[in-house]
Structure 1
Amino acid sequence: MLNSASIIRAVVSLAIVVVSVVLHEVAHAWAAYRLGDDTAKRAGRISLNPARHLDPFGSVVLPLLMSLVGGPVFAFAIPVPYNPNNLRKPKRDEVFVALAGPACNFIQAVVGSLAFRALDAAWTGDLLGYQLLSVVASYVYINLTLMFFNLIPLPPLDGSSIISPLLDGEARRTYYRVQRYSMPILLVALYVLPSVLGFDPVGQLLYCTAGSAYSFLMGA
Structure 2
Amino acid sequence: MEQIILNIALWAVPVVLAITLHEAAHGYVARMFGDPTAYEQGRITLNPLKHIDPVGTVLLPGAIVLMNAVTGAQFPPFGWAKPVPVNFGRLRRPKQDMLWVAAAGPGINFVQAVIWVLLGSLLLPLISNPGGLEMMAALCRNGLMANLVLMLINLIPIPPLDGGRILVSLLPMKAAWQLSRVEPYGFFILIALMYSNVLNMPLRWAMDSVARFIFLITGVA
How does the TM-score come out when normalised to structure 1?
0.85
Q: What residue is the counterpart of 1:203 in the other structure?
A: 200
Paired residues of 1:11 and 1:64 also in contact (CA < 8 A):
no
Q: Deviations over 1:15-48 (max 9, x none)?
A: 3211211111111111111111111100111112
CA distance in structure 1 between the aligned counterparts of 2:155 and 2:17, rounded to whole angstroms:
19
Out of 64, 67, 70, the residue aligned to residue 65 of structure 2 is: 67
Alignment of 1:9-158 (within 5 A): 9-70=7-68, 71-124=75-128, 126-158=130-162
Paired residues of 1:153 and 1:163 also in contact (CA < 8 A):
yes
**Would you say how many aligned residue pairs link Structure 1 and Structure 2?**
211
Unaligned runs of 5+ in 2: 69-74
CA distance in structure 1 between the aligned counterparts of 2:173 and 2:99, rounded to whole angstroms:
18
- Opposite residue 203 of structure 1, the aligned amino acid is N
Unaligned runs of 5+ in 1: 194-199
Paired residues of 1:45 and 1:80 also in contact (CA < 8 A):
yes
Matched position secondary structure for 1:82? coil
Paired residues of 2:116 and 2:144 also in contact (CA < 8 A):
yes
Identity %: 37
Is 2:152 the partner of 1:171?
Answer: no
CA distance in structure 1 between the aligned counterparts of 2:135 and 2:51, rounded to whole angstroms:
29
How far apart are residue 111 of structure 1 and its match?
1.1
Is 2:200 the partner of 1:217?
Answer: no
How far apart are residue 12 of structure 1 and its match?
2.4
Paired residues of 1:76 and 1:157 also in contact (CA < 8 A):
no
- Opposite residue 213 of structure 1, the aligned amino acid is V
How far apart are residue 169 of structure 1 and its match?
4.6
CA distance in structure 1 between the aligned counterparts of 2:87 and 2:66, rounded to whole angstroms:
38
How far apart are residue 212 of structure 1 and its match?
2.3
How far apart are residue 91 of structure 1 and its match?
2.0
Paired residues of 2:4 and 2:66 also in contact (CA < 8 A):
yes
- Opposite residue 127 of structure 1, the aligned amino acid is G
- Opposite residue 62 of structure 1, the aligned amino acid is L
The RMSD of aligned alpha carbons is 2.1
- Opposite residue 41 of structure 2, the aligned amino acid is A
